[in-house]
């Protein structure tokens, strides 16, 4: 999808939040926001939002000197979610459909995102939300069938903390599929996106093959990804893409991609045909996607 005018105020807000996380100095914070605002007239709306976000966060990093302002927050949320791991595993094991419950919880885990908001919910509130989610029978049936048939699955991770919920989905996939699973994380920090250290903290490096995508962009900008990552992506017969940024960067592609996310902004709501706050599990091949109103 391309970028909309509605996205621009969000980019400025994100720049300010990242600058504040990077430094307590108001003068540097203002310099960072001014530097981003200066570039806004040149930002092409024909590209997807993650491509612009990449530029925004690079600017903030250059001005503040901190290219990983959410480092401590990422470690904190990883620890917080891991502290509830036994409870999460019990919820899944005791549910009527463990894979479905794992997906519900993982979608709720997509709330842990410092892009749309600089305020995170508590882990327990995220879990409670996930338990109450309703995923469409047809959409989940297609996902489950795809998982069972797949021989190679690529799982595109989104955020730190959330990646612990992703582990629960992967563990359930491994109980019903013999597919080779490759988890893809970011090469370098951007927002609170998961990197190799987060995958290691979540225990995923002991479970599946984990690779980086070679970039510092939120979402998955395939032309920027490493040749090695693209080869694994194109060799997969099923791709699981977590989060809004992956939706924004991949929703026009033709591969067999299933998106798992929570809708967190009006632009994504219009593009996905869902309401803000709704959980989404859908395949590009099977679900109608609405085009957002031009210029908005």
| Per-residue model confidence as pLDDT tens digits over 58-107 | 999 999 999 999 999 999 999 999 999 999 999 999 999 999 999 999 99
Share of the chain above pLDDT 70, in %: 94
- The answer on 100 and 55 residing in a single domain is no
- The answer on 248 and 140 residing in a single domain is yes
**Owner of token pair 């869902």:** 274
Structure tokens at 8: 């621009």
Residue 250 inside a domain? The answer is yes
* Band of pLDDT at residue 290, cut at 50, 70 and 90: very low
Is the confidence at residue 287, as pLDDT, over 80?
A: no
pLDDT at 192: 93
Calculate the dihedral angle through the C-alpha atoms of 147, 137, 159, 205, rounding to the nearest 10 degrees. Answer: -30
User: Of the candidates 198, 250, 259, which has an alpha carbon nearest to the alpha carbon of residue 219?
Assistant: 250
- The answer on 206 and 139 residing in a single domain is yes
Is the confidence at residue 289, as pLDDT, over 50?
A: no
CB atoms < 10 A from the CB of 192, how many? 27
* Band of pLDDT at residue 288, cut at 50, 70 and 90: very low
Within 177-277, residue ranges assigned H as helices are 196-201, 227-235, 244-250, 266-272
Is the confidence at residue 119, as pLDDT, over 60?
A: no
- The answer on 244 and 98 residing in a single domain is yes
> At 241, phi and psi to the nearest 5?
-115, 115
- The answer on 88 and 31 residing in a single domain is no
Q: How many domains does the chain have?
A: 2
What residues contact residue 214 under an 8 Å CB cut-off, 6+ apart? 187, 224, 225, 226, 228, 229
* Band of pLDDT at residue 117, cut at 50, 70 and 90: low
Structure tokens at 3: 């970028």
- The answer on 169 and 87 residing in a single domain is yes
Tell me the C-alpha distance between 238 and 117, whole Å. Answer: 30
Mean pLDDT to the nearest integer, 278-284? 87
Residue 145 inside a domain? The answer is yes
112 within 8 A of 126, measured Cβ to Cβ: yes
Residue 294 inside a domain? The answer is no
Residue 1 inside a domain? The answer is no
pLDDT at 2: 87
- The answer on 162 and 23 residing in a single domain is no
Question: Domain range holding 17?
Answer: 7-64
- The answer on 130 and 107 residing in a single domain is yes
- The number of angstroms, rounded, from the C-alpha of 281 to the middle of its chain's C-alpha atoms is 13
DSSP string, 60-108: HHHHHS-S-TTHHHHHHHHHHHHTTHHHHHHHHHHSSSHHHHHHHHHHH
Residue 73 inside a domain? The answer is no
- The answer on 47 and 105 residing in a single domain is no
Tell me the C-alpha distance between 290 and 269, whole Å. Answer: 9
Residue 174 inside a domain? The answer is yes
- The answer on 144 and 31 residing in a single domain is no
154 vs 273, which has greater pLDDT? 154
* Residue 162, CB-side half-sphere exposure with 13 Å CA sphere: 30
Q: What is the mean pLDDT of the chain?
A: 91
Is the confidence at residue 110, as pLDDT, over 80?
A: yes
Burial string for 160-186 (b: 16+ CB within 10 Å, else e) reads bbbbbbbbbbbbbbeeebebebbbbbb
Residue 69 inside a domain? The answer is no
Tell me the C-alpha distance between 21 and 71, whole Å. Answer: 10
What CATH number should be reported for the domain holding residue 117?
3.40.50.10880
- The answer on 135 and 82 residing in a single domain is yes
Tell me the C-alpha distance between 113 and 264, whole Å. Answer: 9
Q: What is the pTM of this model?
A: 0.92
Residue 101 inside a domain? The answer is yes
Tell me the C-alpha distance between 98 and 81, whole Å. Answer: 19
- The answer on 245 and 121 residing in a single domain is yes
């Amino acid at each position: 999808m391309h970028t909309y005018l509605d996205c621009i105020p969000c980019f400025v807000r994100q720049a300010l939040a990242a600058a504040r996380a990077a430094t307590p100095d108001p003068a540097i914070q203002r310099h960072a926001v001014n530097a981003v605002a200066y570039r806004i007239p040149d930002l092409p709306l024909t590209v997807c939002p993650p491509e612009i976000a990449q530029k925004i966060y690079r600017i903030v990093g250059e001005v503040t000197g901190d290219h990983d302002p959410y480092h401590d927050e990422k470690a904190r949320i990883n620890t917080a979610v891991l502290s509830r791991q036994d409870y999460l595993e019990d919820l899944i094991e005791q549910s009527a459909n463990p894979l479905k419950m794992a997906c519900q919880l993982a979608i709720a885990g997509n709330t842990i995102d410092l892009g749309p908001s600089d305020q995170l919910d508590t882990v327990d509130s995220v879990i409670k939300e996930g338990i109450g989610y309703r995923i469409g029978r047809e959409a989940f049936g297609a996902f489950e069938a795809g998982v069972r048939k797949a021989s190679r699955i690529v799982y595109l991770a989104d955020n730190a903390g959330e990646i612990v919920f992703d582990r629960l989905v992967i563990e359930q996939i491994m109980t019903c599929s013999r597919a080779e699973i490759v988890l893809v994380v970011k090469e370098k920090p951007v927002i609170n996106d998961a990197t190799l250290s987060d995958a290691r903290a979540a225990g995923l490096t002991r479970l599946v093959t984990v690779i980086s995508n070679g970039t510092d962009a939120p979402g998955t900008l395939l032309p920027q990804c490493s040749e090695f990552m693209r080869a694994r992506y194109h060799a997969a017969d099923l791709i699981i893409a977590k989060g809004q940024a992956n939706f924004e960067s991949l929703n026009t592609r033709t591969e067999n991609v299933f998106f798992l996310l929570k809708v967190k902004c009006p632009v994504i709501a219009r593009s996905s045909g869902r309401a803000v706050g709704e959980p989404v599990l859908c395949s590009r091949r099977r679900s109608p996607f609405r085009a957002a109103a031009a210029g908005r």
